[in-house]
Amino acid sequence: MDDNAGDDKAAVDAAAVARVAGGDAVALRELHDRYGKVIYSFAYRLTHDATLSEECVQDVFVALWRRAADFDPTRAKLTTWLFVVARNRAIELGRQKSRRPELRDDLEPVGSSPDPAHLVTVADESQRVAEAMAELPEDQLAVLRLSYFDGLSHSEIAEVIGIPLGTVKGRMRLALERLRSLSDTYDLQAES
């Protein structure tokens, strides 16, 4: 994908945010459909808690609904704004959970909570991955989401989307190659 495609995607996102600022709930739903699962995955990497991650996604899109008029596409891409809000909210939700041990369903020994520096590092890395993923064409992003975020096999993806298995594998290969090519741009590190 060239720089123009990234610019086009940013322009589409900015237009959708402008519609949200005008009270268009359909535009908000479109943005949620486009970025909700990636935000959830990002929040989950920070909190390791499905409930908190779902709450974080909801809070991010409530914030977008309320503050869409303040979004300035000349200052940052929408994905950057979404992930900053998500990071801050996920960290706050984690802190709130640790301050209310009586409400927690999995008691941790004292001193076993994640290091805040580690949380920030994970958040920054997750944001870079999400921004790189946002550059993928929608058809490649869809198979990547279904595989990595929903845990579906290639055969299940083919069935869900209604495309041949070979097409799923091809799109997955192209998506992963594109992410590899973006690894320097987004300072992505391969997991060992």
Task: Give the model confidence (pLDDT) of 119-142 as tens digits.
Answer: 777 777 777 887 888 888 889 988
| CATH architecture entry for 3-135 | Orthogonal Bundle (1.10)
DSSP 114: P
Q: What is the pLDDT of residues 31-71, one digit of tens each?
A: 999 999 999 988 888 888 899 999 999 999 999 999 999 98
- Please, what sign has the CA dihedral across residues 90, 186, 137, 81? positive
CATH topology of domain 136-192: Arc Repressor Mutant, subunit A (1.10.10)
Q: pTM of the predicted model, to two decimals?
A: 0.54
Q: Where are the domains of the chain?
A: 3-135, 136-192
Long-range contacts of 74-77 (CB under 8 A, 24+ apart): 77/10, 77/13, 77/131, 77/134
Closest alpha carbon to 80 in 124, 46, 48: 124
- Choice among 18-32, 52-66, 176-190 with the minimum mean pLDDT: 176-190
